[in-house]
Chains A and B, each alone.
Chain A
Amino acid sequence: MKILVPVKRVVDSNIKPLVKSDNSGVEVGGVKMSMNPFDETAVEEAVRLKEQKIASEVVVISIGEPKCQDTLRTAMAMGADRGILVTSEDALESLSVAKILQHFVTKEQPDVVLMGKQASDDDMNATGQILAAKLGWAQGTFVSKLELSDGKAQITREIDDGQEILELTLPAVITTDLRLNEPRFASLPNIMKAKKKPIETVALADLGVDTAVRLQVKSVAESSSVREGVIVGSVEELMDKLQNEAKVI
């Protein structure tokens, strides 16, 4: 069984993102970049499936500037077998990414595309579902438990009032919830080994995929959540504030 895992290079999610001075976007120059944590969960799960001999090959793919190679190397240090780098300087939206992935799914014929349910930068939560629709495949979203066998995937999904268990017919697109697993840290020997694993590099422009922008970012602004933070000295004082000042109880 072959598993394809798309991985996105994003501003490290532990860093507070900064808005560019002209409000045109988020500053990414000189900022620590990392693999999207949701994708890290997907890589981990795919590698575990390979270690359990359920998967035979784990292929990772990243789309963006040449630096995305680092993200592929990280995934390969975790245990992925080989990488595909699609180079592009453009900002790509979920629909375009899904179309690029569709191109490589057709070429690589994986049984499962396993990917993060969203990226920690744009939080769109859409690429996996769009890809599944384009391929006419089953989709399993927000998955916190995954079992693969005999052309089927039994998945547990996180939904609003609990969990739902579905059985998907493969091939399928499965998107991961962070709860699926705890991703490993790559060991130094594995990081060294990953440097020798193959990466195929393709220019997006050579693929003939339509990636015209449909959703334009006009401006971005910081959303402040700072409040006054009045420290009260006692429960009595808090009750007084809530009853007489805020009037919420």
Chain B
Amino acid sequence: MAVLVLLSYEKGDQIRKISRSAISAAGKLGTEVHALLVGDHLDGLSQKASQLQGIQKLLVAEHAAYAHMQAEPVADLIASLAGSYEFIVAPANAEGKDILPRLAGLLDVQPISDVVEMIDASTFVRPIYAGSILATVTSKDAKKLLSVRGTTFEAVAETGGNATIEKIENLPASDKQLSVFKELKLSQSDRPELESARVVISGGRGMQSGENFVLLEKIADQLDAAIGASRAAVDAGFVPNDYQVGQTGKIVAPELYVAVALSGAIQHLAGMKDSKIVVAINKDPEAPIFKVSDYGIIGDLFEILPQLEAALKAR
């Protein structure tokens, strides 16, 4: 039996990179991979999704009830398709983590969240205790429901595939509207998405104010980087919540992660420890972040950041 991968996309018709990582993870299960696109007005996205590498079939479920991907109708929909699948895989992002466990409740399965490694078709590795420990788990469920981290599975290519598109005609009736969509407040940013950026530069409480994040932005401009933050910086109101990197925020693994004025709490490390190269800038030589960095500079960010910006410009 095959594996079904729930696709996640941005408003504005971009399939998220984590969806492509989920397809790549699903490919390791050694069976046919189908993708499921759920939403409303999906013509453009269906064409894009059908070209993703690694999928043989694309299922499309289009209905106004799915426009905002609320867990109640979407889980009902996937449950109606689940009979044909041995595995159901979702990205471990806000959407997947909302929908997949609800589906598990409907199907009476113990879901497996945040999978970072597929050992075989029933054995998986997932982080626990804010990522400080890795657990190897074996599922006895006949149907396996997995959410997968984008950071450890290389994304499949956006084009080059040629999946057959199958529109789902028999959508389950959603008679009762348990939740009603009211409003979406998107953070506006011209920068790359945190989870897919090649370089991420994050600030901590030591940034002292939201205004001082301009210093990080100037460096981000030079490196086409995304900007992140520690929970402390977000809680202090310096930057919006969706900047947060860590156990309860975004999980990132860029080529280069620059941590500025950020102590390195275990909950923050959970969100960036898989980065290829980590640089720490902190005035406290005892800051734990230095122990988890490849390179560190001890000093005042207000002196170091302008120097770094100038050096990057001069490249």
A162 close to B242 (CB less than 8 A): yes
How many residues of B are in contact with the other chain, CB < 8 A? 91
Stretch at the interface among B25-33, B125-133, B210-218: B125-133
Give 1 or 0 for each of A150-194: 1 = CB within 8 Å of chain B CB: 000010011111111111110010000111000000000000000
Stretch at the interface among B43-51, B57-65, B153-161, B271-279: B271-279
A163 to chain B, nearest CB (A): 4
- Whether A120 is near chain B, meaning CB under 8 Å from some CB there, is yes
- Knowing A161-B186, A169-B177, the reply to whether A229 touches B294 (Cβ < 8 A) is yes
By beta carbon, the residue of chain A nearest B111 is A126
Contacts of B123 in A (CB 8 A): 218
Contacts of B15 in A (CB 8 A): none
B79 to chain A, nearest CB (A): 9
A42 to chain B, nearest CB (A): 14
Within 8 A of A (CB), among B190-218: 199
Within 8 A of A (CB), among B161-184: 176-184
- Whether B135 is near chain A, meaning CB under 8 Å from some CB there, is yes
Give 1 or 0 for each of B272-300: 1 = CB within 8 Å of chain A CB: 01001111000000000011111111100
B295 close to A230 (CB less than 8 A): yes
- Whether B72 is near chain A, meaning CB under 8 Å from some CB there, is yes
* Complex alpha-carbon distance, A167 and B183, angstroms: 10
Within 8 A of B (CB), among A115-137: 117-118, 120-134, 137
Chain A residues with CB under 8 Å of chain B are 11, 13, 16-17, 19, 26, 93-95, 98, 117-118, 120-134, 137-142, 144, 154, 157-169, 172, 177-179, 213-223, 225-232, 234-236, 238-239, 241-243, 246, 248-249
Chain B residues with CB under 8 Å of chain A are 10-11, 16, 68, 70-72, 75, 93-95, 97-98, 100-106, 108-114, 123, 127-141, 176-187, 199, 223, 231, 234-235, 240-242, 247-248, 250, 255-256, 266-267, 269, 273, 276-279, 290-298, 304, 307-308, 311-312, 315
Top 4 nearest A-B pairs (CB, nearest first) are: A133-B105, A129-B101, A138-B178, A130-B105
